[in-house]
Amino acid sequence: MGDLTEARDLLEFSFESTVSDVPEAALQRLARRSAAFNVRMGLTGRLRLEDGRFIQSLEGRAAVLLPLAGRILADPRHGSIRVTAFGSIGARRFADWSAEGFQWSLAGSDSDNLHFLPSRPERRRQASAAILSLGAAARPLPALRDA
Amino acid sequence: MTFRTESRDERDLVQIVYVSSAAAAMSAEELEMLAERSRNRSASGRLTGLLLRHGEHFYAVIEGPRRRVFQRIEEIIGEQGLRGLQILREETIRARRFVNWSYGVIPVTGRDSGAPSEFLWRFCGLQTE
């Protein structure tokens, strides 16, 4: 932001998916890696986990976001994908990238989709803290490359 | 009767990834109609996937029952002609990847002209670097 030329090729890609067969540790690694990648690539948006569904909004330059969208949509860990927005936007709606909604209400955790969530309360707290700290780490918006 | 046909169709699913340059010959009104039809198609739920327009090009993933998908491809050719139509991949799939149909317009700025192709290449599991 603060980059007047970026608005011309700003893109939004928002989708929901069911992430299954992903162990908790792998999920956290995935979330941490994608947080780092998003920040490095000047992507903003939000990731929420809700009832075993990933709800993700990403926004950034088309040149960065399009290849990433292709990769996400091809990733076999995502299933039942609902693309809710894919296209040009005039301005960013998010100031940063964050992961949230990981309070993991385990009501209905007998669902197969939730099997990767930690079952013991203390592990749940640890995992929750780890993921929430991702959001905090993602706070500062990096200077955009070739701005 | 319809249901029986549908469930049989649901067991014979295909997914097609294609590019075309049909948008070059379309007016703003036609493009708006296309967007409108895309929204309606999403409501019907028979074909799922996505269609992106980048300038004069379309980039698409279309999936559903085999005969419905090929019927749609024939319609596209009927309406728009071949116009650079290239099928990048045609695959039998066990389950749909997408639960809805979406349409989007990608900004054209010149400096990212390769990005939409890269989107499809990555979607097909091919690296471009």
What is B2-123's CATH number?
3.30.70.100
Contacts of A8 in chain B (CB under 8 A): 107, 109
Start-to-end Cα distance in chain B: 50
Q: Is the pLDDT of residue A5 over 70?
A: no
Mean pLDDT calculated for residue range A95-100 = 86
Q: How far apart are CA A68 and CA A85, in angstroms?
A: 15
Residues 55-84 of A with CB under 8 A from B: 61-63, 66-67, 69-71, 73-74, 79-84
Q: For residue B4, what pLDDT band results from cuts at 50, 70 and 90?
A: low
Q: In angstroms, what separates the C-alpha of B55 from chain A's closest C-alpha?
A: 12
Q: What is the ipTM of this complex?
A: 0.86
Q: In angstroms, what separates the C-alpha of B109 from chain A's closest C-alpha?
A: 6
The dihedral formed by the CA atoms of B112, A70, A116 and A31, expressed in degrees to the nearest 10: -10
Encode pLDDT of B7-40 as tens digits. Answer: 677 889 999 999 999 888 889 998 888 888 877 7
Q: In angstroms, what separates the C-alpha of B125 from chain A's closest C-alpha?
A: 7
Read off the tokens for A53. Answer: 């569904």
Question: In terms of pLDDT, which residue wins out, B93 or A128?
Answer: B93
Q: Establish if A144 belongs to a structural domain.
A: no
| CB-defined contacts A:B, below 8 A | 78
Domain count, chain A: 1
Q: Domain ranges in chain B?
A: 2-123
Q: Which residue of A has its CA nearest to B98?
A: A81
Q: Is the pLDDT of residue A59 over 90?
A: yes
**In chain B, which residues touch A (CB < 8 A)?**
50, 52, 61, 95-100, 102-107, 109, 111-112, 114-116, 118-125, 128
Question: In terms of pLDDT, which residue wins out, A95 or B109?
Answer: A95
Q: Establish if A143 belongs to a structural domain.
A: no
Q: Is the pLDDT of residue A66 over 90?
A: yes
CATH number at residue A111: 3.30.70.100
The dihedral formed by the CA atoms of A35, A139, A94 and B124, expressed in degrees to the nearest 10: -10
Q: Establish if A70 belongs to a structural domain.
A: yes
Helix/strand number for chain A, H first, E second: 3, 5
Q: Establish if A97 belongs to a structural domain.
A: yes
Per the DSSP assignment, residues forming a β-bridge with B65 are B13
User: What integer pLDDT is reported at residue A8 of this predicted model?
Assistant: 76
**Choice among A81-85, A102-106, A119-123, B106-110 with the minimum mean pLDDT:** A102-106
Q: Is the pLDDT of residue B5 over 80?
A: no
Q: How far apart are CA B97 and CA A125, in angstroms?
A: 33
- Compute how many other C-beta atoms are within 10 angstroms of the C-beta atom of residue A8: 16
User: What integer pLDDT is reported at residue B44 of this predicted model?
Assistant: 59
Q: How far apart are CA A6 and CA A35, in angstroms?
A: 21
Q: Establish if A147 belongs to a structural domain.
A: no
Residue % of chain B over a pLDDT of 70: 86
Q: Establish if A145 belongs to a structural domain.
A: no
Question: In terms of pLDDT, which residue wins out, B56 or A26?
Answer: B56
For residue A8, which phi and psi values (nearest 5 degrees)? -70, -25
